[in-house]
Structure 1
Amino acid sequence: MKPAIAARRRAPREDLISYLLERGCTDLEILTECLTYGTAGMVTTREFISAAAWHFLTDADLKNEYLHAPEAERHAILQELLRLEPVVSQLYRRTLNDLEVDGVQIPAGSVLTLDLLDTNSDPALLGDSGEQVCPMRTLPRGVQPPVLAFGDGHHRCPGAFLAIRESDVFLRRLLMLDVRLVSPPSVTFNQTVRGYELRDFTLALD
């Protein structure tokens, strides 16, 4: 990291290190932030790839639809799976102003917990098909295909497009090998990131 930080001090660019240097962050703070970005992107994408593969390997029709679809439709299928299986199931946000939600007064500075599993299948947004895989579905204006699985606003995942793209590259190549499911993964919950972890997911290639 030190050579990269030194290079950005000499010639700032439009990237995270330059942004943090502009705000007076120390080398250790920059290192911590960059590791957090890298780890968060790697871990969440890894878990989603496993969850999506599990769907495909237990639903032959969905697998065939995915494998024979053009890129835009494959990405839509992956976004739908992520909507149903958000890797991080809870987000925390602190209110900047007093709010009123459904008649409840919420003072500024309160910490809110957003339940993504409920929100991402909310009938008010998705109708009666909220728990079904329906790629290219019509959504209200301003609602992204994965709904809140990538967050939203200023806190939306900056690597959202990359995560879907690299998941597509990996899964398409994997499924074209005609692998089969030997044993489904064990599912646990990581309290730190508030998301699922899939382990011991065994596949075979005949």
Structure 2
Amino acid sequence: MAKSIVIIHPAEIIRKGISSLLEDIQSVRISCFPDFSKLNMQELKAAQKLLLIVPANCRYAQELLELRTSIGEHELVGVLTNDKEKCEDNAFDHLIPIDVPAKQLIQIAEGFFESDDTDNSGELTIREKEVLRLIALGNTNKTIADTLFISTHTVISHRKNITEKLGIKSIPGLTVYAIIQKIVGPSDISPDQLS
């Protein structure tokens, strides 16, 4: 499976800094570009999993949308370069400040690449188990997204994968499954959640 991280930013120090933080993620190719025009679109479209890191105020939104519709599994991370910069664009799966703690950026990347959906065994990935645990505890999609530093769109995608793998569509059913698999303890669940 082709796994790639592509970092696009005009500042070389930012590209190199982000790249060095993520270089220890195994079996992932990292590429850096100063602007969108330098990308090899065919190479990116060949990626089965792509984490794309760009400035939150980028001017190439249309190209990114086109790219997102042609790639298998992907997440888009927007980097905010200062406190005053605002981004209302909900096209990003994650918005992070330039001074984000390294641990959080690494967690975003590892969480994305750990959720390898090519496993047809029906086993849930680590990230899917985290989402399932939070569902079983009665959290909303927004709360799950905030807790795991992912977008609501990504939570919905994980929920879809979980229900497809398990063949369970109801929240009470998912909750019972989570208890049986020891993803949550029975004492963590209120009886109201099972009705």
TM-score where L is the length of structure 1: 0.27
